Structure 1
């Protein structure tokens, strides 16, 4: 059985995409504890916005947003060639693996540290390695839950909007359905995680203001990455063959089963 899968280009492509999708999502969640200044990254002074009565707002973002835009690019590509069921499958797979990873993080935090290891980072300015380890891997439970719920809901919304637009445009204008679905789903993603993680901690005005700042960045990234989607689409067609690529798109649009597995192999 594995011999046939490894000879089937659409199947091999799906396995590769799934692996990258899950790995990218896990890395994004893991590095999300660091907050960086987008303005300083490009050599500018932090901006000072005022929204909903909140002043001093700037683009202070979690490092996870450096990778999350790629998740929506991959979602749109999978949606285009494999259909909604495939998107749901890789999304649930990613959530299960991320949940498993955080469970292992919390177990690792609870394991008693070796005495020599606690002070082993002194030469690097780290007085207590266990405290630093806890700070890096011990994200708050509400933040974890908020992030996972936001990820799942935004993925499902992205799938729905993508296919609604595709029914109108057909195989044309992948940039329109990809960018349009991402712009809507990213807005939902921004606010779900904030409301779950910080409701009762921040005022609703602060949540709305922070959400807008985050969404501005995500919307800009969605527009910047639009040419990447068009480029990847062409590369996939070259890899599997244009006839098979066309059949994959038709199968993805016409049914939600794994239609790509029934497409004749290209070698």
Structure 2
């Protein structure tokens, strides 16, 4: 008896590519900068500059798990993991290559070291926090989908984000910036990031609903992970 070929989907690969792009950009461009804004009622708030972009990866994770299932989201998580490893390797090579001897490169070398010299810690923190947080998010969402019979999507996306972002935010900032940023600033940024990321997810719920509804309709799939092996150490779908 021959095994049928795996089913292909129209938008799965595009969502994977977008997910990896958001992950790399938010962790390498925005994560190292602590920014401040003065907001009504809250006053001056300190936060990581990736705040407006990294939560998109969790929305993609919610969409992938809800539509295609935990197994396919797991493949996307590992794709992001591999991309972060390559980014760390490339950053290390670029920073440590001897610069050309001219006035411009004398200044530029110090700038590139300032931006990417801490990349190994940022990427280490990103990889560990991202894997733990993403798998926790996907696991909670998949289990809640079974428990609710596929109802209350808003409850599942927000509930899974509360769990996933807790692990992600705490682990990332401890690994990446402990001993680099002042402790008071580190704690303030970590708490702010967590609250804003979970709030951002809640605000994006209508868009998540529309994306999930569109994909379920055009892909003809609404996966329930009733017989799924939830080990993170697999690429099987």
Question: Structure 1-normalised TM-score?
Answer: 0.74
Matching residue of 1:158 = 137
| Aligned residues of 2:47 and 2:189 also touching (Cα < 8 A) | no
**Structure-2 change in CA distance of 1:128 and 1:201 (3 Å):** closer
**Structure-2 change in CA distance of 1:253 and 1:68 (3 Å):** farther
| Aligned residues of 1:83 and 1:253 also touching (Cα < 8 A) | no
Cα distance in 1 for partners of 2:111, 2:217 equals 47
Q: 1:209: Cα distance to partner?
A: 4.2
Matching residue of 2:12 = 14
Matching residue of 1:54 = none
Matching residue of 1:265 = none
Cα distance in 2 for partners of 1:85, 1:29 equals 24
Question: Structure 2-normalised TM-score?
Answer: 0.83
- The alignment covers a number of residue pairs equal to 226
Cα distance in 1 for partners of 2:34, 2:190 equals 15
SS, match of residue 105 in structure 1 = helix
Q: Does residue 183 of the first structure (1) align with residue 162 of the second (2)?
A: yes
Matching residue of 1:26 = 24
Structure 2: runs of 5+ lacking an equivalent: 230-235
Cα distance in 1 for partners of 2:121, 2:47 equals 18
Cα distance in 2 for partners of 1:163, 1:221 equals 21
SS, match of residue 112 in structure 1 = coil
Q: Does residue 71 of the first structure (1) align with residue 50 of the second (2)?
A: no
Query: Which structure shows the higher helix fraction?
Result: 1
Matching residue of 1:105 = 91
Cα distance in 2 for partners of 1:153, 1:60 equals 25
Q: 1:249: Cα distance to partner?
A: 2.0
Q: Does residue 84 of the first structure (1) align with residue 70 of the second (2)?
A: yes
Among candidates 186, 189, 193, match of residue 172 of structure 2: 193
Q: 1:207: Cα distance to partner?
A: 5.0
Matching residue of 2:205 = 226
**Structure of greater Rg:** 1
Q: Does residue 119 of the first structure (1) align with residue 107 of the second (2)?
A: no
| Aligned residues of 2:62 and 2:141 also touching (Cα < 8 A) | yes
Among candidates 133, 140, 144, match of residue 112 of structure 2: 133
Cα distance in 2 for partners of 1:151, 1:235 equals 27
SS, match of residue 172 in structure 1 = coil
Q: 1:253: Cα distance to partner?
A: 4.5
Cα distance in 2 for partners of 1:139, 1:187 equals 23
Structure 1: runs of 5+ lacking an equivalent: 48-57, 121-126, 259-267
| Aligned residues of 1:159 and 1:181 also touching (Cα < 8 A) | yes
**Structure-2 change in CA distance of 1:238 and 1:160 (3 Å):** closer
**Structure-2 change in CA distance of 1:65 and 1:253 (3 Å):** farther
**Higher mean displacement: 127-136 or 89-98:** 127-136
Cα distance in 2 for partners of 1:198, 1:133 equals 18
**Structure-2 change in CA distance of 1:170 and 1:30 (3 Å):** same
Cα distance in 1 for partners of 2:79, 2:227 equals 24
Cα distance in 2 for partners of 1:202, 1:33 equals 10
Q: Does residue 35 of the first structure (1) align with residue 34 of the second (2)?
A: yes
What value does the CA root-mean-square deviation take over the aligned residues? 2.7
Q: 1:87: Cα distance to partner?
A: 1.6
Matching residue of 2:232 = none
